[in-house]
Chains A and B, each alone.
Chain A
Amino acid sequence: MYLKTTWKHIRRSPYQALAAIMIMTFTFFVAATLLLAAGASQKILSYFEGKPQITAFFKDKVTDKDIGNMENALKNTGKVSSIKYVSKEEALAIYREQNKKDPLLLEMVSAEILPASLEISATNVSNLKDLYEFIKKQPNIEEVVFQKDVVDTLTSWTSGIRKIGLSLLIFLSLISVLIIVTVIGMKIAIRREEIEILHLVGASNWYIRWPFILEGMFYGVTGAMIAWSVTYLILWRTTPFLTSFLSGIPLLPVSPLIMFFLLITLCLGGAIIGIIGSLLALWRYLK
């Protein structure tokens, strides 16, 4: 019964309905993009955090005992999650793999000229600096390389995306609520006579309010569903390109389960924005 009335309201002013759905679609498209971007940046960050973050290159004359002592010293700091020893031979194999397309570079290199190293991962990104300082002071260490810059940049990007995204999302949600308030408010104004008749024949306030609330929900959920479909379509079309762009980072394809949760989240958001907008309009225009 309420659904029938709601559908009648929507059909009677299709342009207002279209405007409301379009603005909701835009809001939720931005929301979907931001949610996916936030998830992706977090995953990229985890990927880099999971990789060896410090590489300590030994001096040429280092002994196995020195290497063992170094490993123990690092473990005792309690800030290390994993340590991997890379011998001169393994270093050569890695070098060959990285430069297999350039035979000239391979000819000139032997295991002797490559240093043995330790690849170290920290339990937490914040421990990297302490570990770096600690390793640098060790006598058998020739050079220390660590990915602090990459991780720092990614951390600041992730945090930036979250902050900007959240602000944009709040701003767009406010606009969407205002649009719903305006559209529903106009509908209430147009139907003032009908509302008066309903009151006179004994309709309760909720009998009158429900179709307007459902209408707001309809705009929100429809906008969310369209936005989700557009996002999915764009993601699907760009997956081959993004996969090659993000070579090595296991980000794509996005799991259908994640997309399903995204759909549910967007629809819930749409319903909530629709309900809030409608209730505000009813409170403002239907006292």
Chain B
Amino acid sequence: MRGRGSGVAIIGCAQSQVERHASVTLGALTVDTARRAIDDAGLEVGDVDGFVTGALFPTAGAHAVEDGVSTVTSNWLAMHLGTNPRYAAGFQGYGQIPGAVALAVNAITSGAADYVLFHRSLYNPPGSYHGNPMRGAPGPLQWTAPQGYFGPIAMIGLPYNEYLQRYGAKRETMAKVVVEARKHGARIPWSYWHDKPLTTDDYLAAPMINDPVCRYDCDIPVDGAAAFVFTSAERAKDHPHRPVHVLGYAGGAPTTHRLPLHWPLDDIMGIGGETARRLWEATGLKAGDIDVPQLYDGFSPFVYFWLEVLGFCPVGQAHGLVEDGGIDSDRPGGLPVLSGGGALGNGRMHGVPQMLECYLQLSGRAGPRQREHANVGLACHSSPHFGGVVAYMSER
């Protein structure tokens, strides 16, 4: 695919309302959203012969994982749409969105399927999202839970503090990341945070959870579903909307044996740098070519890490770029890294807002939020060292 695109494009999509708790089950929400995406692409359910997702329910809690309730797999969705596809698969690993996009691309280019429905469904259980009443810590948990190192907020607290200490960054600067995400989320009708922007004062007054991480550095758990239809670039010409092509993708995973949830900053930046090199090699792109660089923000420090590994600024200088207004996308020259609201501005949709913003902007379907220059986009997901990124290009 080097520099020439994957030969696969997105031809339609749908996004549910993002709510704290939906009035229907996650399975029903996903079936409705999938039907709308298939219709948006100008297809019937029977035309879709491939299904992909990454179905992880990303909780540290003791919640049951039940298909159609707390998670939705490809096979569950196909069955409940009443179809029997040639191909159904799930990506197992981190960076569920780029991982599952790669499954869709490979299914189409190999001939395993002609029209692939990609979906991602996220669930907010009743009660505490990560709360876990364990009395004993077995297996990998024995090394970290007994001392209280548990769950993703402590996980991100350590490398975020390493960043602050190493580069002399101020915690207060992160307000600009979260306020930017919420500013865009407030403009998005389906967002949980629609019409609810955040002020810097609100951010600074929020309770600390695991220093230096405060409440608003974390995305809020939600119920929501999104679906996208992929097909070959050749078939994509015959559908109602302007195709958005998958130019390439890259990912990475830790190479060093660590304690559970231990993500030292050097791991994030080292393996993350390799993820970026793979992306540029696969696509022939460079940072300056990207009109819509949608960075992952499930925890706010990821925005710094992605800015640096992708080369939007030198390593150690993302906080300075942000402090100077460099990611305020309403300013001329401001990088639109959170123009889709991200996870902080929509709710815990796990990389969906980044992918959706790329699709809407590059297909010219972003409505009043449409940006003038939107030909090349990146959709990042998870950590640069344990996740991935997809590059999209518009038909123009």
Q: Do A and B bind each other?
A: no
The interface of chain B, by Cβ under 8 A from chain A, is none
The interface of chain A, by Cβ under 8 A from chain B, is none
